[in-house]
A and B are shown apart, each in its own frame.
Chain A
Amino acid sequence: MAMEVTQILLNAQSVDSTVRKHAEETLKQFQEQNLPGFLLSLSGELASEEKPVDSRKLAGLILKNALDAKEQHRKFELVQRWLSLDMAVKAQIKTCLLQTLSSPVTDAHSTASQVIAKVAGIELPQKQWPELIGSLLSNIHQVPAHVKQATLETLGYLCEEVSPDVVDQDQVNKILTAVVQGMNAEEGNNDVRLAATRALYNALGFAQANFNNDMERDFIMRVVCEATQSPEVKIRQAAFECLVSISSTYYEKLAPYIQDIFNITAKAVKEDVEPVALQAIEFWSSICDEEIDILEDYGGDFTADSNVPCYYFIKQALPALVPMLLETLLKQEEDQDQDEGAWNLAMAGGTCLGLVARTVGDEIVPLVMPFIQENISKPDWRQREAATYAFGSILEGPSPDKLTPLVNVALNFMLSALTKDPNSHVKDTTAWTLGRIFEFLHGSTVETPIITPANCQLIITVLLQAMKDAPNVAEKACGALYFLAQGYEDTGASSPLTPFFQEIVQSLLTVTHREDAGESRLRTAAYETLNEVVRCSTDETAPMVLQLAPIIMTELHQTLEGQKLSSDEREKQSELQGLLCGCLQVIIQKLGASEATKFVFMQYADQIMNLFLRVFACRNATVHEEAMLAIGALAYATGPDFAKYMPEFYKYLEMGLQNFEEYQVCAVTVGVVGDVCRALEDKILPYCDGIMTQLLKDLSSNQLHRSVKPPIFSCLGDIALAIGENFEKYMMYAMPMLQSAAELSAHTSGADDEMIEYTNLLRNGILEAYSGIFQGFKNSPKTQLLIPYAPHILQFLDSIYMEKDMDDVVMKTAIGVLGDLADTLGSNAGSLIQQSLSSKEFLNECLSSDDHLIKESAEWAKLAITRAISV
Chain B
Amino acid sequence: MSSHDIRRPFKRPAISDQQRRRELSLLRQSQNRRDAQLQARRLASTLLSLQSTQHDYNEQQLDIEVTKVPAELESYAEETEDDYGDHKEAHHDLRQATKLRGHEARLWFAKQLMHPEWMIDVPDNLNTDWYVFARPAGKRCFVVSSNGTTISRLRNGILLHRFPSALPNGARTNNSKSAQSYCILDCIFHESDETYYVIDGVCWAGISLYECAAEFRFFWLNSKLAETGACDAPSTYHRYRFSTLPVYNCDKEGLQTAYAGQVPYVKDGLLFYNKHAHYQTGNTPLALVWKDENCSQYVIDTDNKGQVPSQQQVVLELLDDGRLATSDDPPVIFGCLLGAFVQKTELHRGDLIKFAIGEGGLVVVNGKLEKADLQFLGKSNRARAFADSYSKVLFQHAARYSHLRIEHLFASISSCVEDGNSTQDAEMAG
The chain A residues found within 8 Å of chain B, CB to CB, are: 153, 156-157, 160, 198-199, 201-202, 237-238, 241, 244, 275, 278-279, 282, 285, 343, 347-348, 351, 428-429, 432, 476, 479, 482, 490, 492-493, 524, 527-528, 531-532, 539, 578, 582, 585-586, 589, 594-596, 622, 625-626, 629, 632-633, 636, 664, 668, 671, 674-675, 678, 714, 717-718, 721, 768, 771-772, 775, 778-779, 816, 819-820, 823, 852-853, 856, 859-860, 862-864, 866-867, 870
Q: List B9-40 residues whose CB lies under 8 Å from chain A.
A: 10-11, 13, 16-18, 21-22, 24-26, 28-30, 32-33, 36-37, 40
- Given A279-B6, A582-B21, residue A493 in contact with residue B234 (CB < 8 A): yes
Inter-subunit contact B1/A157 (CB<8 Å):
yes
Instruction: Give the complex CA separation of A626 and B17 in angstroms.
Output: 11
User: Which residue from chain A places its CB closest to the CB of B148 in the assembled complex?
Assistant: A856
Inter-subunit contact B25/A586 (CB<8 Å):
no
Tell me the minimal C-beta distance from B211 to chain A in angstroms. 24
Cβ contacts A to B, 19 pairs, < 8 Å: A156-B1, A157-B1, A237-B3, A241-B3, A351-B8, A429-B11, A490-B235, A524-B17, A582-B17, A589-B24, A629-B22, A633-B25, A675-B32, A778-B40, A779-B99, A852-B177, A853-B172, A866-B57, A867-B48
User: Which residue from chain B places its CB closest to the CB of A157 in the assembled complex?
Assistant: B1
Tell me the minimal C-beta distance from B38 to chain A in angstroms. 9
Instruction: Give the complex CA separation of A768 and B1 in angstroms.
Output: 46
Q: Which residues of B contact A490 (CB under 8 A)?
A: 235-236
Q: Which residues of A contact B180 (CB under 8 A)?
A: 859
User: Which residue from chain A places its CB closest to the CB of B180 in the assembled complex?
Assistant: A859
Instruction: Give the complex CA separation of A476 and B12 in angstroms.
Output: 9
Tell me the minimal C-beta distance from A373 to chain B in angstroms. 23
Inter-subunit contact A479/B13 (CB<8 Å):
yes
Q: Mark B288-313, 1 if CB is under 8 A from A, else 0.
A: 00000000000000000000000000
- With an 8 Å Cβ cutoff, the count of chain B residues facing the other chain is 56
Instruction: Give the complex CA separation of A856 and B176 in angstroms.
Output: 9
Q: Of A664, A775, A862, which is within 8 A of B40 by CB? A: A775
Inter-subunit contact A778/B18 (CB<8 Å):
no
Inter-subunit contact B3/A768 (CB<8 Å):
no
Q: Which residues of A contact B61 (CB under 8 A)?
A: 859, 862
Q: Which residues of A contact B96 (CB under 8 A)?
A: 779
For the complex, is B147 an interface residue (Cβ under 8 Å from A)?
Answer: yes
Top 3 A-B residue pairs of the complex, sorted by shortest distance between their CB atoms? A528-B17, A852-B175, A198-B1
Beyond the given pairs A351-B10, A492-B233, 17 more chain A to chain B contacts, judged by CB atoms under 8 angstroms and listed by A's residue number, are: A343-B6, A528-B16, A528-B17, A582-B18, A625-B18, A625-B22, A674-B32, A678-B36, A819-B41, A820-B41, A823-B41, A823-B48, A856-B148, A856-B178, A864-B48, A867-B51, A867-B52
For the complex, is B329 an interface residue (Cβ under 8 Å from A)?
Answer: no
Inter-subunit contact A668/B52 (CB<8 Å):
no
Q: Which residues of A contact B52 (CB under 8 A)?
A: 863, 866-867
Inter-subunit contact B7/A531 (CB<8 Å):
no
User: Which residue from chain A places its CB closest to the CB of B2 in the assembled complex?
Assistant: A198
For the complex, is B44 an interface residue (Cβ under 8 Å from A)?
Answer: yes
- Given A531-B21, A866-B57, A870-B55, residue A772 in contact with residue B1 (CB < 8 A): no
User: Which residue from chain B places its CB closest to the CB of A816 in the assembled complex?
Assistant: B37
Instruction: Give the complex CA separation of A615 and B148 in angstroms.
Output: 38
Inter-subunit contact A632/B29 (CB<8 Å):
yes
Inter-subunit contact B176/A852 (CB<8 Å):
yes
Inter-subunit contact B40/A860 (CB<8 Å):
no
Inter-subunit contact A586/B21 (CB<8 Å):
yes
Instruction: Give the complex CA separation of A244 and B6 in angstroms.
Output: 10
Q: Which residues of A contact B234 (CB under 8 A)?
A: 493, 539
Q: List B120-151 residues whose CB lies under 8 Å from chain A.
A: 147-148
For the complex, is B179 an interface residue (Cβ under 8 Å from A)?
Answer: yes
Q: Which residues of B contact A714 (CB under 8 A)?
A: 30, 33
Inter-subunit contact B25/A632 (CB<8 Å):
yes
Tell me the minimal C-beta distance from B59 to chain A in angstroms. 6
Instruction: Give the complex CA separation of A772 and B239 in angstroms.
Output: 27
- Given A343-B7, A582-B18, A585-B21, residue A721 in contact with residue B1 (CB < 8 A): no
For the complex, is B323 an interface residue (Cβ under 8 Å from A)?
Answer: no
Inter-subunit contact B233/A779 (CB<8 Å):
no
Q: Which residues of B contact A156 (CB under 8 A)?
A: 1
Inter-subunit contact A160/B236 (CB<8 Å):
no
Q: Mark B230-269, 1 if CB is under 8 A from A, else 0.
A: 0001111001000000000000000000000000000000
Inter-subunit contact A856/B179 (CB<8 Å):
yes
The chain B residues found within 8 Å of chain A, CB to CB, are: 1, 3-4, 6-8, 10-11, 13, 16-18, 21-22, 24-26, 28-30, 32-33, 36-37, 40-41, 44-45, 48-49, 51-52, 55, 57, 59, 61, 95-96, 99, 147-148, 161, 172, 175-180, 191, 194, 233-236, 239
Instruction: Give the complex CA separation of A259 and B422 in angstroms.
Output: 91
Inter-subunit contact B57/A870 (CB<8 Å):
yes
Inter-subunit contact B17/A675 (CB<8 Å):
no
- Given A153-B1, A531-B17, A852-B176, residue A671 in contact with residue B26 (CB < 8 A): yes
Tell me the minimal C-beta distance from B267 to chain A in angstroms. 21
Tell me the minimal C-beta distance from B149 to chain A in angstroms. 12
Inter-subunit contact A771/B179 (CB<8 Å):
no
Give the residue among A160, A282, A863 with the most B Cβ atoms within 10 A.
A863
Q: Which residues of B contact A198 (CB under 8 A)?
A: 1
Q: Which residues of B contact A633 (CB under 8 A)?
A: 25, 28
Q: Of B10, B33, B178, which is within 8 A of A674 by CB? A: B33
Tell me the minimal C-beta distance from A728 to chain B in angstroms. 17
Instruction: Give the complex CA separation of A347 and B12 in angstroms.
Output: 12
Instruction: Give the complex CA separation of A779 and B94 in angstroms.
Output: 12
Q: Which residues of A contact B44 (CB under 8 A)?
A: 778, 823, 864
- Given A490-B236, A671-B26, A775-B37, residue A863 in contact with residue B48 (CB < 8 A): yes
Inter-subunit contact B32/A772 (CB<8 Å):
no
Tell me the minimal C-beta distance from B104 to chain A in angstroms. 15
Tell me the minimal C-beta distance from B189 to chain A in angstroms. 9
Q: Which residues of A contact B18 (CB under 8 A)?
A: 578, 582, 622, 625-626
- Given A595-B161, A674-B33, A870-B55, residue A863 in contact with residue B6 (CB < 8 A): no
Tell me the minimal C-beta distance from A752 to chain B in angstroms. 23
Inter-subunit contact A863/B45 (CB<8 Å):
yes
Inter-subunit contact A860/B6 (CB<8 Å):
no
Give the residue among B95, B179, B180, B191 with the most A Cβ atoms within 10 A.
B179
- Given A632-B25, A671-B25, A674-B33, residue A275 in contact with residue B3 (CB < 8 A): yes
Inter-subunit contact B32/A721 (CB<8 Å):
no
Inter-subunit contact B45/A476 (CB<8 Å):
no
Q: Which residues of A contact B235 (CB under 8 A)?
A: 490, 492-493
Instruction: Give the complex CA separation of A537 and B104 in angstroms.
Output: 42
Instruction: Give the complex CA separation of A278 and B4 in angstroms.
Output: 11
User: Which residue from chain A places its CB closest to the CB of B34 in the assembled complex?
Assistant: A853
Q: Which residues of B contact A668 (CB under 8 A)?
A: 22, 25
Inter-subunit contact A675/B179 (CB<8 Å):
no
Inter-subunit contact A347/B10 (CB<8 Å):
yes
Q: Which residues of B contact A823 (CB under 8 A)?
A: 41, 44, 48
Instruction: Give the complex CA separation of A596 and B234 in angstroms.
Output: 14
Inter-subunit contact B37/A678 (CB<8 Å):
no
Instruction: Give the complex CA separation of A479 and B9 in angstroms.
Output: 15
Inter-subunit contact B25/A285 (CB<8 Å):
no
User: Which residue from chain B places its CB closest to the CB of A153 in the assembled complex?
Assistant: B1
User: Which residue from chain B places its CB closest to the CB of A532 in the assembled complex?
Assistant: B17
Inter-subunit contact A718/B17 (CB<8 Å):
no
Tell me the minimal C-beta distance from B62 to chain A in angstroms. 8
Instruction: Give the complex CA separation of A678 and B37 in angstroms.
Output: 11
Instruction: Give the complex CA separation of A285 and B11 in angstroms.
Output: 16
Instruction: Give the complex CA separation of A237 and B147 in angstroms.
Output: 61
Q: Which residues of B contact A578 (CB under 8 A)?
A: 18
Instruction: Give the complex CA separation of A713 and B315 in angstroms.
Output: 50
Q: Which residues of A contact B30 (CB under 8 A)?
A: 714
Tell me the minimal C-beta distance from A245 to chain B in angstroms. 8
Instruction: Give the complex CA separation of A578 and B17 in angstroms.
Output: 12
Instruction: Give the complex CA separation of A636 and B161 in angstroms.
Output: 13
